[in-house]
Amino acid sequence: MAEPTIDASAGPVALRTSPLAHLEQRMRAATVTGTRGVALTERPFVTMVNLRVASGTETAERIEKTLGAPLPPRCGPTTSFGPHTVLWLGPDEWLVVSGAEGVTAELREALGTDPGSAVDVSANRTTLELRGSAARQVLEKGCPHDLHPRSFGPGTAVSTTVGPVAVLLWQLDDTPTYRLLPRSSFADYLARWLMDAMSEYDGPDLT
């Protein structure tokens, strides 16, 4: 029997498998339509950079110029420009989520030799997107954070838990659409938890 061969020309990017590739069909099948609609998808291979820099310094100003957006000063609000969105993690720590290649190198160049760091952590997390009219109710089954629009809305992100899984939870719009960023090793559990929480909305609204 001939041994299988691998096309070396494909390169490492072509051979990547996302943490939830094996659940793609199940997530698609779990979609609920209608007035209580909700859908779950994975958005894999998003560039994420852990950024450490002292706020209010000339170094931070160079970073902000590179990103085209200010670094969020506190937990909650995000800032965005072009392909970049910046999420607050701590007083001197942020997560840069970007659709652009090369952002890590650009941030390191902006840091120069000053104190700070820009580390590509793209493989550390994956991104789940939950959207639809029932999305907030699904999350509220296991998220302790107040997700009511009076305190959590588009352009807001916090570190919290959904079920037993620690995530960065980010609301994109009023649909509502949420993005959940768990550690890759917990993504399978979280996806299954969300699909189970979605299942009750696939039926008539008896309220």
pLDDT tens for 6-16 read 444 545 555 78
Compute and round to an integer the Cα radius of gyration of the chain.
19
pLDDT at residue 14, rounded to an integer: 59
pLDDT at residue 13, rounded to an integer: 54
pLDDT at residue 119, rounded to an integer: 97
Distance CA 207, CA 205 (A): 6
pLDDT at residue 20 above 50? yes
Fold held by 21-44+126-201:
Gyrase A; domain 2 (3.30.1360)
pLDDT at residue 25 above 80? yes
- Kindly report the average pLDDT of the chain as a whole number: 92
Look up residue 146 and give its two tokens.
């107040």
47-123: CATH number: 3.30.70.1520
pLDDT tens for 34-54 read 999 999 999 999 999 999 999
Residue type, 3: E
Distance CA 144, CA 74 (A): 20
Please determine whether the domains at 21-44+126-201 and 47-123 fall in the same fold group of CATH: no
Residue linked to tokens 């990103």: 67
34: DSSP letter? S
Beta bridge pairs of residue 42: 128
Look up residue 128 and give its two tokens.
């789940």
- Per-domain boundaries in the chain: 21-44+126-201, 47-123
* C-alpha 66 chain-centroid distance: 21
Look up residue 133 and give its two tokens.
């009219």
pLDDT at residue 4, rounded to an integer: 43
In which band, very low, low, confident or very high, does the pLDDT at 178 lie, cut at 50, 70 and 90? very high
The whole-model pTM stands at 0.89
Q: Is the peptide bond before 77 cis (omega within 30 degrees of 0)?
A: no
Q: List the single range of 12-16, 41-45, 92-96, 200-204 with lowest mean pLDDT.
A: 12-16
Burial code of 104-119, b = ≥16 C-beta within 10 A, e = fewer? bebbbebbeeeebebe
pLDDT at residue 161 above 90? yes
pLDDT at residue 141, rounded to an integer: 97
pLDDT at residue 1, rounded to an integer: 41
